[in-house]
Homo-oligomer: A and B are copies of this chain.
Amino acid sequence: MELQINQRIQKYHPAVWRALTDLGKRIYLPKGIPLQARQASQCDINATIGQCTDDEGQPMPLPVMADKFKNVDPKDIFLYTPQGGRRDLREAWREHIYQDSSEETVEISLPVVSAGLTHGLSLAGELFVDEQTRVLLPQPRWDNYDLIFGVRGQGHIVDYNVMTDPDTTTKNPCRNVSFNSSGIIETLKEQSQHTRKLFLALNFPSNPVGYTPTQSEIDILVHGVQEIVADWKRRGTKHSLIILLDEAYHGMEWDSNSITSSLFFQLQHIDREYVVVCKVDGATKEMFFFGGRIGFISFATSKETQAAMEEKVIGLMRSTISALSSPSQIVLLKALQSPELYSQQEELRHVLQDRYEVLRETLQKSSLDYWPFNSAFFCLVHCPTDPQKKRLQLIEQGLGVVSIPRTPALRISYSTVPKEKIPNMVDILQRNLL
């Protein structure tokens, strides 16, 4: 059953085929009850599917549940949605992605809905990460990456530094670090000598650094990847490189110097004999819908392979969570269909932008050493002495932050801190860190 989609992938996107895990190779979407239900959807009597409808074919929810919703058809809340998510939502999200690009042709699969961003990352892991994979992860990084790709996926984890090393001869060693484009390329080059299967996770805007590169920094990165791939091609090697774009914080760029459109558009055309580009994004942060758990996963791939990749992902989901939450999907769909969406989003982003600016200015005037930040919800404050202990000490003084011991730093999420409280927050940090 999986044969047909595997043949397509082998033929039209060889890098995917070489990169798939055993599970990735064998997964498919059985033509079972969901398909039979779809075929019978026009029948006068549709006795295919195990859900309940009343004599008019309407859902029959418990009234104590139905009274929690308004301006939505109960069908869109209480009944199942198709495997892989509502088609209209998937199409609306693709349109949303397109808005980012001036290119005429974007070869992107129809985004499959995932149960949040983590789920999109985990699906990419299930498809591509196994014991034979070198997984290049940013340092510092969101700690769940290790659980997903290491503990679960059993990939061989390799760190790359997101930023250049602090110059410890200067007064504030971290303030002047910069994006580590050439370091990332060096790591990639070096690792490609040890293994043929590389998985590079790129996270812009980044968590926990809160940094998004400028176009010239990105140019070095993209050019470097192209050169590595060209070298593989010249030598006729069997390498494969999966580039995972974790774009959870897309749209949360506060500085005009950093790129604001998805890196996807700059990477999508890289040689498909060697490269797979996978984009994970979603509504959690971008649409301020943290509780909704709606993400998307899509691939840069040719028309011939798009459906096959979608089926692989949907097969993985059918065998884990099956359908997705209907209420979350319809609420996001209605938002994407609303002419007011982008102005409302802009308004909320202004609140964050204001906090960002106050924080940046206050930090500049302070004696604290901190890493450059220009996006997402975070900044890192240098914390040379036992960040874990400092964190607990700060809680005693009414300030909650996250410790990043390896960096060593404290992560400040200014997305939850009122503008007025920011000077006081920096003050508490100064008193405790210096």
Interface of A toward B, CB cutoff 8 Å: 23, 26-28, 30, 32-33, 36-37, 39-41, 43-55, 57, 59-65, 67-72, 76-81, 114-119, 122, 142-144, 146-148, 151-152, 207, 285, 287-293, 315-316, 318-328, 330-332, 334-335, 338, 340-341, 344-345, 348, 351-352, 376-378, 391-392, 395, 398-403, 412-421, 424-425, 428
**Do the beta carbons of B400 and A48 come within 8 Å of each other?**
yes
Chain B residues with CB below 8 A from A287, complex form: 62, 65
Taking a contact as CB atoms closer than 8 A, the residue among B27, B341, B398 that contacts A43 in the complex is: B398
**Do the beta carbons of B415 and A51 come within 8 Å of each other?**
yes
Chain B residues with CB below 8 A from A116, complex form: 321-323
Chain B residues with CB below 8 A from A378, complex form: 50
Chain B residues with CB below 8 A from A315, complex form: 147, 151
Least CB separation from A28: chain B residue: B151
**Do the beta carbons of B118 and A332 come within 8 Å of each other?**
no
Taking a contact as CB atoms closer than 8 A, the residue among B59, B151, B289 that contacts A65 in the complex is: B289
**Do the beta carbons of B327 and A291 come within 8 Å of each other?**
yes
**Do the beta carbons of A399 and B45 come within 8 Å of each other?**
yes
Chain B residues with CB below 8 A from A69, complex form: 68-70
Q: A33 to B141, alpha carbons, bound, how many Å?
A: 12
**Do the beta carbons of B152 and A319 come within 8 Å of each other?**
yes
Min CB distance A66 to B, Å, is 9
Q: A412 to B417, alpha carbons, bound, how many Å?
A: 56
**Do the beta carbons of B151 and A413 come within 8 Å of each other?**
no
Q: A365 to B28, alpha carbons, bound, how many Å?
A: 42
**Do the beta carbons of A39 and B321 come within 8 Å of each other?**
no
Q: A118 to B27, alpha carbons, bound, how many Å?
A: 16
Chain B residues with CB below 8 A from A77, complex form: 291
**Do the beta carbons of A325 and B413 come within 8 Å of each other?**
no
Taking a contact as CB atoms closer than 8 A, the residue among B40, B48, B327, B421 that contacts A292 in the complex is: B327
Chain B residues with CB below 8 A from A59, complex form: 288, 290
**Do the beta carbons of B325 and A60 come within 8 Å of each other?**
no
Chain B residues with CB below 8 A from A152, complex form: 23, 27, 316, 319-320
Least CB separation from A419: chain B residue: B55
**Do the beta carbons of A319 and B148 come within 8 Å of each other?**
yes
**Do the beta carbons of B291 and A81 come within 8 Å of each other?**
yes
Least CB separation from A26: chain B residue: B151
Q: A43 to B398, alpha carbons, bound, how many Å?
A: 4
**Do the beta carbons of A47 and B79 come within 8 Å of each other?**
no
Extra inter-chain contacts (5) besides given A68-B69, A79-B291, CB under 8 Å? A30-B146, A62-B289, A62-B348, A118-B319, A152-B316
**Do the beta carbons of B288 and A62 come within 8 Å of each other?**
yes
Taking a contact as CB atoms closer than 8 A, the residue among B45, B144, B147, B328 that contacts A421 in the complex is: B45
